[in-house]
């Protein structure tokens, strides 16, 4: 079997529990010489370290499909984007800060990560990404010339998570998607920002064949991605539901599961 491209989720898949790429995974990707497209809910700035260390030159997918881009001469080039509509973004900024002022709130633009205060949630995210947000007043978020691609809410209280989620759903905003990622993250993106749409864009642009594509993932937002490839590989740390939807299951993200999957399933050797 010849694989022409791998679509690779980051958190819980490529990255271990410390948010890092293991040397084993990195070497497998570099030696296998199969083109890689990272497909992540992360912003480009949070993906840049992985892109550089893995020497990725092609198109990448950020914000769960909201941005298709590449870095060329260290500059971000945009190929397709789906941001949160300005009306909904401005409403959500005001709503969240008035109704949940103590909730950790992050606002992601194409090249910026902004919040209005430091808190435990931001500290936790900074440890994972090795980045720090800009702390700015609310007026800066309402800049009509800048688009928000993702709003990320962090809480370590499951009751607060449920309350925030229910309140957001009750708003009935049809232009957005609300997804929980792990136990602590709630992410708001454009309804048009879907991993599978990003993959479709690249498939058509590069004239790829489905049966020659593979994908690695561990979460519910990876299921649409699995449907777009011939070889869907779930991580051992994924839920049983996700594992059942995949064609194959590899080792966990803390056991170099990407490297194992590449050599065991895609390259026919270990």
Helices and strands: H and E segment counts in the chain:
9, 14
- For tokens 């700015």, name the residue: 136
> 91 and 183: one domain?
yes
Torsion, Cα of 253, 254, 257, 263 (10° steps): 150
Predicted pLDDT of residue 129: 87
Please tell me the predicted confidence (pLDDT) of residue 144. 67
Same domain as 186, residue 138: yes
* Tokens matching residue 8: 């690779």
With a pLDDT cut of 70, the percent of the chain lying above it is: 97
Domain boundary residue, one of 190, 212, 241: 190
Total domains, the chain: 2
> Is pLDDT at 270 greater than 50 in this prediction?
no
Residues 43 and 17 in one domain: yes
- Of the chain, the percentage scoring pLDDT greater than 90 comes to 84
Same domain, residue pair 170 and 227 = no
pTM for the model = 0.92
Question: How high is the pLDDT of residue 145?
Answer: 78
Residue range(s) defining the domain that contains residue 9 = 5-81+194-266
* Band (26; pLDDT cuts 50, 70, 90): very high
What is the distance between the alpha carbons of residues 73 and 87, in angstroms, rounded to a whole number?
34
> Are the CB atoms for 187 and 161 separated by under 8 Å?
no
Average pLDDT of the segment spanning 100-106: 95
């Amino acid at each position: 079997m010849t694989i022409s491209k791998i679509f690779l989720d980051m958190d819980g898949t490529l990255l271990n529990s410390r948010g890092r790429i293991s040397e084993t995974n990195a070497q497998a990707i570099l030696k296998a010489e199969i083109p890689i497209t990272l497909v992540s809910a992360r912003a480009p700035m949070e993906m840049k370290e992985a892109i550089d260390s893995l020497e990725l030159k092609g198109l990448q997918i950020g914000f769960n499909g909201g941005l298709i881009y590449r870095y060329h001469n260290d500059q971000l080039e945009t190929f397709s984007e789906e941001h949160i509509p300005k009306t909904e973004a401005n409403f959500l900024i005001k709503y969240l800060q008035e109704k949940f002022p103590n909730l950790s709130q992050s606002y992601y633009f194409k090249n910026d990560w902004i919040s209005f205060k430091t808190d435990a949630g931001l500290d936790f995210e900074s440890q994972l990404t090795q980045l720090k947000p800009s702390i700015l007043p609310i007026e800066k978020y309402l800049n009509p010339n800048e688009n928000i691609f993702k709003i990320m809410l962090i809480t370590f209280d499951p009751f607060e998570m449920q309350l925030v989620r229910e309140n957001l759903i009750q708003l009935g905003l049809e232009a957005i998607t609300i997804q929980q990622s792990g136990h602590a993250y709630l992410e708001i993106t454009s309804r048009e920002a879907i991993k599978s749409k990003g993959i479709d864009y690249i498939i058509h642009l590069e004239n790829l064949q489905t049966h020659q594509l593979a994908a690695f993932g561990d979460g519910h937002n990876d299921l649409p991605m699995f449907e777009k490839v011939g070889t869907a590989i779930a991580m051992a740390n994924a839920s049983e539901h996700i594992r059942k939807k995949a064609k194959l299951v590899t080792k966990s993200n803390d056991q170099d599961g990407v490297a194992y999957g590449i050599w065991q399933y895609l390259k026919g050797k270990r």
